[in-house]
Amino acid sequence: MLLENGWLVDARRVPSPHHDCRPEDEKPTLLVVHNISLPPGEFGGPWIDALFTGTIDPDAHPFFAEIAHLRVSAHCLIRRDGEVVQYVPFDKRAWHAGVSVYHGRERCNDFSIGIELEGTDTTPYTDSQYQQLAAVTRTLIGLYPTIADNITGHSDIAPARKTDPGPAFDWPRFRAMLTASSE
C-alpha cells in the first residue's frame, strides 16, 4: 500500500473534523484495533462515515440519539468487504481511544493509530478484513517501525470501558499474517 502525505493512496478518503495535531515530536508507536457497527450489529450503510464526520442524524435510529453528540474518529475503517476508508492522516491524532493506558502511558491517542473493523465482538471478521488489516499494518510498520511490537485491542487499553475487537478477533491469525509477510 502506498502513502501520500499520511493518507493511503488506495483508501476511500472521508476527512473527519474530529482530529488534531499530535504533541510536538510525537510519532505513532502503537496500533489499536477496534470494532464498530452502526446501528449496533448491522453492517453497511453510511452511518460510520456520518459518526466520524459529525453528521449522524440522531433521528435516523433510536441508538443514534445516544451518540450524535460524540466527537470521535479513527484513522481507518476496514469494511466487511475489505474496503479501506481513511478519516484522519496517520501523522495526526484521531480521537479513537478515549481514556486509555498502554504499558503505563496514558492518553493513547497521542501516540497511536486507530483502525476500526466493521464488526462486533462476537461476529467473525472476514478474510478480506484480515488481509487488508495486515496490509495496512505492514505499511504502518514500514513508516513507524516501533508499531511492530506494539499492537493491541481497544479492550486492552481501556478494559473497564471497552471490549473490542472482542473474542471474535483472531489475534494468532492476524499476527501470523504479519510474520508470514515479513519472511
Helices and strands counted in the chain (H then E): 5, 12
Asked, for residue 81, whether it belongs to a domain, the answer is: yes
| CATH code for position 113 | 3.40.80.10
Return the pLDDT at 182.
Answer: 55
Number of domains composing the chain: 1
28-44 CB burial, b ≥16 within 10 A, e <16: bbbbbbbbbbbeeeebe
Q: Is 66 a catalytic residue?
A: no
pLDDT at 139 over 60: yes
Nearest to 6 by CA among 28, 23, 24: 28
Asked, for residue 111, whether it belongs to a domain, the answer is: yes
Average pLDDT over residues 130-147: 97
Asked, for residue 101, whether it belongs to a domain, the answer is: yes
Residue 147, amino acid: I
Instruction: Give the Cα separation of 106 and 25 in Å (integer).
Output: 17
pLDDT digits (tens, 9 = 90+) for 13-69: 999 999 999 999 899 999 999 999 999 999 999 999 999 999 999 999 999 999 999
Which pLDDT band, with edges at 50, 70 and 90, does 183 fall under? low
Return the pLDDT at 97.
Answer: 97
Asked, for residue 60, whether it belongs to a domain, the answer is: no
Asked, for residue 5, whether it belongs to a domain, the answer is: no
**Nine cell digits for residue 71:** 466527537
Instruction: Give the Cα separation of 172 and 59 in Å (integer).
Output: 40
Instruction: Give the Cα separation of 33 and 61 in Å (integer).
Output: 26
Identified catalytic residue from 66, 83, 106, 116? 116
Q: What is the domain extent for residue 78?
A: 10-44+72-182
Q: Model-level pTM greater than 0.95? A: yes
Asked, for residue 154, whether it belongs to a domain, the answer is: yes
Return the pLDDT at 179.
Answer: 87
What is the maximum alpha-carbon separation in the chain? 50
Q: Coil, helix or strand for 130?
A: helix
